[in-house]
A and B are shown apart, each in its own frame.
Chain A
């Protein structure tokens, strides 16, 4: 084994490649910039204006975001009086970390036994449920459960972010997040449960490999899950936690410079990791491809979901906190229950 193939082996090793390169950290950061650019361009298209333009006209102003990122990165970080500086700096980092972590357990693709560049990891990542290798950062048989569990810890760090800054608007934002997290977590977990009952498994890979996208098998769960996701990651029309005209910037009011970018990026990354999960559960994931093309195909669908959720900004305003909570318990929760019943029926009649 030459040194080159050794490097290639470790580079493409799923635990490294998925979490760090694709679709993990590096890709996610590039995507973050592109997605903010897309959000601004799409909104500008609806709103009869140009959006970012002058930083590289040929690319449609796409470099504007890089310029913004540099500006934020080198601007001063002001730490307010009377806060614990360590926690103040640590909270956004924990926030973005826990927005990232679910990516490690979401299966990205299938590893065929031979013919793919990934085939050498077949045995190390063998999933007995689908009788094939699974391209995933960290394989556990119950990865649906683990992904949801990790994703739901995100809101705890939003509270921490608000708490350490000792700002009144931040506290209001944190209380809003606390109220909402109960609402949206219930929706996400219930619609995921509906799918688990329908496909008789808690392994995401088995859901994908069944060949039937979740949205066709159980459209109600698909809608409910999506509502839960945009509510949980504070996208319009549920951008309630950071509502700028009401609570300035919610939990992130006191953050400046790079730390602010991290908090802002965390919510996009959070949406992205949910979008990857959504792509697997409801949009058929990597099927019918396998190997690296499967990973690209699955990520592409996730990016579409992400793009749709950021596009909602140009259509909706924001709901009030009580309207969002009432809506989620009164209208969406019964829908989630219906999705479970639908899942049971369809799972019993159709999907074996």
Chain B
């Protein structure tokens, strides 16, 4: 993940650089001096396992892992008190032929961690879009993984019920949320006879 080549800049394609390599967004306010919850969390996490972390805001953080580490990191996060997954998001980077899966993890019960949302990100290539499912750790990924499977074609190994969710059953081989699936914008209809 860390040694990805920077894609050739293409202004038409709007340069979809993966999040991991982007500079910290300008919008984020300057972090205060004293360590925030996220700092403490990452400290805790680094003691257990070596992962790339990034602080986006006082209450938002990102953990970038390889897919082989995903389950392990998820287990540690669960032990720390992150008890549910808010969303499972797929991202498509056609320039690099890569797909990304983001688990946004948070807590209901933990008084501190309920204030933060941590993104757990992992990348897979187009050729081998397989990610281990986190269903065994957080059951709340059930819907999100099914949806990401049908929309991006990312297979989640170990998911008990990996079928299409929203799309009809005959929606075979097309992954609508990938960038290659283009939407056509319809123009405004003008009745020419009326105009004349």
Do A's and B's CB atoms come within 8 Å in the complex? no
